[in-house]
Amino acid sequence: MTHRSELLMPAGNLRKLKMAVLYGADAVYLGTPDLSLRTKSQFSLEEVIEGVEFCHAHGKRAYLTLNLFSHNKDVPKLEEYIDTVRKVNPDGLIIADPGVFQFVKERAPDLPLHISTQANVSSWLSVKFWQAHGAELVVLAREVSFAELSEIREKCPDVKLEAFVHGAMCMTYSGRCLLSNFMSERGANQGNCANSCRWNYKVRMRLKDGTVQALDINEDNAEMFEFLLEEGCRPGELMPIEEDGRGSYILNSRDLCIMPKLDDYLALGVDSLKVEGRGKSEYYVAVVARAYRMAIDDYYADPEGWTPHKYMRELESVGNRGYTLAFHDGRLSNYSHDYEQTESLAQWEYAGVVTAVTDDAFHVAVKNKLEAGEVLDFVSPISRETVLLRMYEFELLSGEIKTAVHGGAQATIKVPFVLFDHEDIEDLKTRFPTYSVLRKEKPLTTEQWNRVKFDKLVQGLETGGKRNEPAYAKRRDALAESVAENTSERRFKTNRVGVDGCCGKGCNGCLIFWQDDTYARAREALLTRKHGEQLSRAEAKALKGPSPSAEALA
């Protein structure tokens, strides 16, 4: 197979760019905050140049975002920007504004031009228009269905096509929104969206005396009210809406995730598979890149045997609002939205990042609080197998020993290699270079656990093309009830200390697993497997008990 789709990852700063490349991106997109539709971008013009050079040194491509809708004040900046970046030969400039497109085409005809999703290209007719004007690649709007994408590919075989496969969804045509401008005076189309669509909205009533009061809807008076919308050009056509005392997230889309259908996109020959998220964390960049890298490589190795399940488990370790196929099938359903809760969450969180590999230890910058008994999952950018390590104390670079350490600029710990008593140390050093990320389980509230369960159900129903209203209603109501209870108590999925019970992971340093006779048979089973491969919960339960030899010794 000669044609391969590229994995295109976001880079919000130079560090994220390097992590994206390290974890498997074929290309990255980046830009300065004033011209790239991301005011929170942390790239200076000098860092953009360094980033492009880094990509090229590693055999990767770098696309620069120049996709603002230009105002007069922006025009003088374009000349300096173009004259500077063309010296490092970026692999493409992503543009939305026709005026900017023409400006770059005339000033730097050597630079490949890409059409941004902000241009709202949704048909083969628009693709051909931009191709005729010199575009090398067209980024399709998120609203394009897979059937439409297939037709565009058929009718436009000689231009590169790029499609979004993962990330946040906008409630308007690929970012054409004025809600943020109106609600918070932050220009969505200038890269400063406040995500007003995801806010919690509640009904208020204005009394004749001018006072405004909350309309408290409860089980005693709910039957007295019905809320209706009437559109100006359709008088008399009343559309019911629902509202309760908790408010509504009426515009809260789940996050796009095409992974369950990724094989369709690869078979079609989409040139570039784009992940959204220049404002997301470096942990997001690393784990999402890793998941899609594995999925893409495995598809090309064995298209017929490819399934998405193990890659979805990886993606579920990254904060998300629940995953949806969005417009893949041509229209949205209620499965594409979450009306109960808008939080981005996951069962795992960013624990730290390797900042140095010395002769005797990893140096790890701590990103979230670590406590005695935590299991750290080392996520390799080179090897598919992760390595689990349970730690009972933490040594700072100063030599101070702590049982808990908070994330922060100065919080760097040493993780001695002697703790990895089931790993080859030289192999360990190779598999986890600088910028390798670590994750750990995250304690969730009852509300958050119910959201996780609800998201899993909805994802399964949507990807399977099924309807199960009783199950949907049950999970939705459980979430709604826990939201109303608003409890702050949090719990982990597995044991913390490693002496109170076994989670079946068999991680390095777990006292009860590696020392207690109860888990002798489980240890024997685990030692026959490759590094990092875990026992399932069912296996751990089935193998619980001493081995025959241990019983004889007793």
403 or 504, which is more confident?
A: 403
pLDDT value at 212 more than 90: no
pLDDT for 213: 66
Query: What six digits make up the tokens of 325?
Result: 């196929």
Q: Are residues 379 and 258 in the same domain?
A: no
pTM (predicted TM-score): 0.86
Closest of 496, 497, 494 to residue 535, by C-alpha: 494
* Domain count of the fold of the chain: 4
Tell me: the pLDDT tens digits for 530-539?
Answer: 655 667 767 8
Q: Are residues 413 and 287 in the same domain?
A: no
507 or 524, which is more confident?
A: 524
- CA 512 vs. chain centroid, Å, equals 34
Tell me: the pLDDT tens digits for 227-238?
Answer: 665 656 666 666
The residue segments making up the domain with residue 475 are 444-491
CATH code of the domain containing 279: 3.20.20.70
In a domain, residue 371? The reply is: yes
pLDDT confidence band for 549 (50 / 70 / 90): low
3-state secondary structure 261-318: HHHHHHHHCCCEEEECCCCCCHHHHHHHHHHHHHHHHHHHHCCCCCCCHHHHHHHCCC
Q: What is the DSSP string of 189-214?
A: GGT----GGGS-B--EEE-TTS-EEE
The backbone torsions φ and ψ at residue 261, rounded to the nearest 5 degrees and listed phi first, read: -120, 15
In a domain, residue 113? The reply is: yes
Taken in order 532, 538, 539, 540, the sign of the CA dihedral is positive
Q: Are residues 234 and 87 in the same domain?
A: no
The stretch 283-296 carries a mean pLDDT of 98
Tell me: the pLDDT tens digits for 375-400?
Answer: 999 999 999 999 999 999 999 999 99
Q: Are residues 432 and 402 in the same domain?
A: yes
Q: Are 37 and 68 in contact (CB under 8 A)?
A: yes
Tell me: the pLDDT tens digits for 75-124?
Answer: 888 888 888 888 889 999 999 999 999 999 999 999 999 999 989 999 99
In a domain, residue 58? The reply is: yes
Amino acid identity, position 167: G
Q: Is 125 exposed, middle or buried (0-12, 13-18, 19+ CB in 10 A)?
A: exposed
Q: Are residues 228 and 239 in the same domain?
A: yes
Q: Whole-number mean pLDDT of the chain?
A: 85
pLDDT for 225: 67
76 sits in which H/E element: helix 75-85
Closest of 366, 367, 419, 418 to residue 392, by C-alpha: 419
In a domain, residue 184? The reply is: no
Q: Are residues 358 and 325 in the same domain?
A: no
- Comparing 233-242, 363-372, 434-443, the range with the smallest average pLDDT is 233-242
pLDDT for 360: 95
Q: Are residues 381 and 244 in the same domain?
A: no
Report the C-alpha gap between 295 and 479 in whole angstroms. Answer: 32
